[in-house]
Amino acid sequence: QVKELVLDNCRSDDGKIVGLSSDFENLEFLSMININLLSVSNLPKLNKLRKLELSDNRISGGLEVLAERTPNLTHLNLSGNKIKDINTLEPLKKLPNLHSLDLFNCEVTMLINYRESVFTLLPQLTYLDGFDADDQEAPDSDPEADGDGLEDEYENGEEEDDLDEEVIDDEEDEDDDLEGEEEEDGVDDEEEDEEEDGEDDEEDEADDDLPRGEKRKRNLEDEGEEDPEDEEDDEDD
Lowest-pLDDT range, 121-135, 162-176, 222-236? 222-236
CB-hemisphere CA count at 13 Å for 137? Answer: 9
H or E, element range at 102: strand 100-102
Q: If you ran DSSP here, which 8-state letter would residue 227 be given?
A: P
- The CB-based long-range contact list for 19-22 (8 Å cut-off, 24+ gap) reads 20/44, 22/46
The model's pTM:
0.60
Count of Cβ atoms closer than 10 Å to residue 15 Cβ: 16
Whole-angstrom Cα distance, residue 87 to residue 80? 17
Task: List all residues 6 or more positions away from 24 whose beta carbon is below 8 Å from its beta carbon.
Answer: 2, 5, 44, 46
For residue 109, is pLDDT > 60?
A: yes
CB-hemisphere CA count at 13 Å for 227? Answer: 11
Among positive and negative, which fits the CA dihedral 138, 144, 147, 151? positive
Q: In whole numbers, what is the pLDDT of the chain averaged over residues? A: 76
Lowest-pLDDT range, 126-135, 144-153, 192-201, 226-235? 144-153
Whole-angstrom Cα distance, residue 16 to residue 32? 11
Determine the residue type at 4. Answer: E
Residues 63-107: tens digit of each pLDDT: 999 999 999 999 999 999 999 999 999 999 999 999 999 999 999
Structure confidence at residue 34 as a pLDDT band (50, 70, 90)? very high
Pairing of strands 4-6, 29-31: parallel
Higher pLDDT among residues 192 and 51, named by residue: 51
Among 88-92, 143-147, 168-172, 198-202, name the most confident range.
Answer: 88-92
* Multiple choice CATH, 4-128, 3.90.550.10, 3.80.10.10, 3.40.50.300, 3.60.21.70: 3.80.10.10
Pairing of strands 29-31, 51-53: parallel
Q: What is the pLDDT of residue 155?
A: 46
**What would the mean pLDDT of 146-155 be, rounded to a whole number?**
44
Structure confidence at residue 142 as a pLDDT band (50, 70, 90)? very low
Domain boundaries, the chain: 4-128
Q: If you ran DSSP here, which 8-state letter would residue 138 be given?
A: P
For residue 29, is pLDDT > 90?
A: yes
Q: What is the pLDDT of residue 192?
A: 52
Q: Which residues pair with 77 in a beta bridge?
A: 53, 102
CB-based burial of residue 71 (10 Å sphere; 0-12 exposed, 13-18 middle, 19+ buried)?
A: middle
Among 16-25, 157-166, 183-192, name the most confident range.
Answer: 16-25
Higher pLDDT among residues 136 and 147, named by residue: 136
